Chain A
Amino acid sequence: MHVRKRDSIQRTLALLITASLLYIPANLYPVMYTDALGSNEASTIMGGVVLLINLGSAPVALVIFVFSVMVPSAKLMAMFYLVWTVQRHSPLDPRQRSTLYRVVEFIGKWSMVDIFVVTILVALVQLGGLLVILPGIAAVSFAAVVILTIIAAESFDARLIWDNMDEKNSVN
């Protein structure tokens, strides 16, 4: 048997609440600034998606929308749901909840895409007074949200889902 993770529920819940609070500034504040010929333009994460659609790159816009908007919010909701059902000793289909947990665990790091995009743009786009890209404060909070949710998923003990199941619910 593997050793159980200590205080799993409390730790996971604390991390989730912190991540949810940081998720607000991550979406409200600019993630980067574009300085083109003296005019300064700020863009939020959602603004970046809109920009990509306007550029005519719908598939890339979809990638960013899924990983930066849908995945982080769905992940937070899924983790809250899992913690809530475990705390209530819910009898809801444990196999489904197990699968949900594994999806959350697997998909976590993909939300870092937008942070890496900002990193590349800030480093590469330094064309003197012509065109300069600067990072925005939301990059810090968004990176923190992604990392906190990965740690939250890590500290959640998936075996808790199975702890309160009746004998008849198990296969063996």
Chain B
Amino acid sequence: MDGEIACQSCDLLVNVAATRHGESASCPRCGCFLTKLHDDALHRVIAFSSIGLMFLAFASSYPFLSLSSSGVESAITLIQAPFALWSKGMPEVAVLVTAFIIAIPALVLMMMLTLCILITRGRYHSSLLPLAKGIFIGQKWSMVEVFLIAVIVAMVKIAAMATVTIGISFWAYGAFAICFTLAASSLDRYQCWQKIALLAIK
């Protein structure tokens, strides 16, 4: 790796030339994480984001959780969950929840997939920069792991009142969350900018 990085949290110029593969570099002044060199990062991102999208499609089409008490039953799919808030008079919260747990994470995976395929082709494309910007903003607003914890808390709360059964789509969503995390952590921000810059001057 060559060149200097301006630390994004304190503007110190840090030389990262000595960083080797598998190592990560942090800012010596403020301690902020700078970059990590992965082997074969692009292919990892392509693999994890495409598998992740398949798991999400699977998770959206089967029952997520079901509940029964004294013979009465109710079941929900992943898409239905936020929709119930809409029909109970909270459309704005319903839209936000759908965005944070399904729409934005799915969009981020699609953008990561597109970006990495375009970069591996080795040609500059005008959509590379907006894609990369969109990915790093979208990652901040993806809350897949938070939602998984919420499901567990919700199950504990209901367990006292009725019997909860976990549907197959819950496990698919869990697998999607793992793929999302792995894909996102494989795409290093600085490496990404540098690859785009290299393609731009070629």
Do A and B associate with each other? yes
Residues of A participating in the B interface, judged by any CB pair closer than 8 Å: 1-2, 36, 48, 51-52, 55, 57, 60, 63-64, 94-95, 98-99, 101-102, 109-110, 112-128, 130-131, 134-135, 139-140, 143, 147, 150, 154, 158-159, 161-162, 170-172
Dominant SS among interface residues on chain A: helix
Would B158 and A116 count as touching, CB distance under 8 A?
no
What are 20 A-B residue pairs whose CB atoms fall within 8 Å in the complex? A1-B6, A52-B157, A94-B30, A95-B30, A99-B31, A102-B32, A109-B100, A113-B146, A113-B153, A115-B97, A116-B101, A116-B146, A119-B94, A120-B81, A124-B67, A130-B69, A135-B90, A135-B93, A154-B140, A162-B11
Min C-beta distance of A91 to chain B, whole Å: 15
Would A120 and B154 count as touching, CB distance under 8 A?
yes
Chain A residues, Cβ within 8 Å of B85: 118-119, 122-123, 135, 139
Would B30 and A140 count as touching, CB distance under 8 A?
no
What residue in chain A is nearest B73 (Cβ atoms)? A127
Would A135 and B88 count as touching, CB distance under 8 A?
yes
What residue in chain B is nearest A172 (Cβ atoms)? B12
Q: B20-75: which residues lie under 8 A (CB-CB) from chain A? A: 28-32, 65-67, 69-70, 72-74
Would B29 and A130 count as touching, CB distance under 8 A?
no
Residues of B participating in the A interface, judged by any CB pair closer than 8 Å: 6, 8-12, 28-32, 65-67, 69-70, 72-74, 76, 80-85, 88-90, 92-94, 96-97, 100-101, 140-141, 143, 146-147, 149-154, 156-162, 164
**Are A120 and B140 CB-contacts (below 8 A) given A55-B160, A95-B31, A171-B28?**
no
Interchain CA distance A143-B82 in the complex, whole Å:
14
Min C-beta distance of A99 to chain B, whole Å: 6
Interchain CA distance A111-B141 in the complex, whole Å:
13
What residue in chain B is nearest A56 (Cβ atoms)? B160
Chain A residues, Cβ within 8 Å of B66: 124
Chain A residues, Cβ within 8 Å of B84: 119, 122-123, 126
Would B82 and A124 count as touching, CB distance under 8 A?
no
**Are A130 and B152 CB-contacts (below 8 A) given A125-B162, A140-B92?**
no
Would A147 and B96 count as touching, CB distance under 8 A?
yes
Interchain CA distance A123-B82 in the complex, whole Å:
7
What residue in chain A is nearest B164 (Cβ atoms)? A124
What residue in chain B is nearest A119 (Cβ atoms)? B97
Chain B residues, Cβ within 8 Å of A99: 30-31
Chain B residues, Cβ within 8 Å of A131: 69, 161-162
Would A158 and B9 count as touching, CB distance under 8 A?
yes
Chain B residues, Cβ within 8 Å of A170: 12, 29
Would A125 and B151 count as touching, CB distance under 8 A?
no
Interchain CA distance A170-B92 in the complex, whole Å:
46
Would B101 and A125 count as touching, CB distance under 8 A?
no
Would A102 and B9 count as touching, CB distance under 8 A?
yes
What residue in chain A is nearest B161 (Cβ atoms)? A131
Other-chain contact of B93, A36, A55, A139, A161 (Cβ < 8 Å): A139
Chain B residues, Cβ within 8 Å of A118: 85
Interchain CA distance A94-B151 in the complex, whole Å:
39
Top 5 A-B pairs, shortest CB-CB distance? A116-B150, A123-B84, A98-B30, A120-B154, A162-B10
What residue in chain B is nearest A2 (Cβ atoms)? B8
| Candidate in A101, A122, A170 with the most chain B CB atoms within 10 angstroms | A122
Would A116 and B97 count as touching, CB distance under 8 A?
yes
